[in-house]
Amino acid sequence: MRIALVHRDLHAVTRGGIGTLYRALAPRLRAAGHEVTLITQRTPSPLELEEISVVPLPRTGDMERHRQAVAEALASLAPDIAESSSWEAETLHYARLPRAGRSPVVVRGDLSAVTMRAGLPLVAAERELVHAADAILAVSGFAAGDLTSAYAIPRPAVTANGADRDRFRGTAPELLAAGGGCTYRDSGDLRAILAGGPAPGGTLPAAIDWDATATATIGVYQALREGRKAA
């Protein structure tokens, strides 16, 4: 498959969870035999990953301009799958195209713009994107419920992010609580998670593994591609 991952902060100086996710996911998708392109904005610290293409778009804080640039880049690339985060709705203009004229759009769903109190323009854009997307993958059970509540969509499938096992060795309760894949907003949420799930253990659960994340992601991509072919 030809896969495009879209995030405007994919650079050598990592910032944010989705950027970390795509930096970890891209080489695993490539190792599985897929062609991967990263669509991002220009940066003084460009990201270089072996055998992975990078399409740098103009750096701008104007999200409407950026979304249009993303749509044009995706139309030119014509990937089999296009994925972006729900946050800032970067693939919104592309997702607005008739399904017959675009690739399947996957949205990696994190906490909603409603919960993040991001303001009405971002809430409206995110709501439109999650309704237009062909599939949504929530990064945690909490995020799945939050997106469902905020935007009245079916509860998304959960694909937990991996963890760097060289850095985390069973000492992070937010990773270990309830078998992993938990997101919390404040200390009250964390206490509720810890009280309601199995006690943190001494090792990271298998679900919190980048290879498992990649395998689950590829499964969703393949199902969308086969569904498009059947149609």
Q: What is the pLDDT of residues 125-161, one digit of tens each?
A: 999 999 999 999 999 888 999 999 999 999 999 988 8
Residue 99 and residue 82 share a domain: yes
Residue 88 and residue 136 share a domain: yes
The count of structural domains within the chain is: 2
Instruction: Look at the block and give the residue holding tokens 């607005």.
Output: 96
Residue 190 and residue 136 share a domain: no
Residue 179 and residue 130 share a domain: no
pLDDT at 11: 87
Residue 136 and residue 111 share a domain: yes
Mean pLDDT check: name the lowest of 87-101, 104-118, 146-160, 164-178: 164-178
Segment 101-113 shows an average pLDDT of 95
Q: Per-residue pLDDT for 96 more than 60?
A: yes
| pTM for this prediction | 0.84
Residue 199 and residue 91 share a domain: no
Which domain CATH number covers 8?
3.40.50.2000
Residue 184 and residue 75 share a domain: no
Residue 168 and residue 73 share a domain: no
Q: Tell me the per-residue pLDDT of 176-196, one tens digit each, with 9 for 90 and over.
A: 443 344 555 566 766 776 666
Segment 210-217 shows an average pLDDT of 91
Residue 89 and residue 19 share a domain: yes
Domain that holds residue 201: 163-208
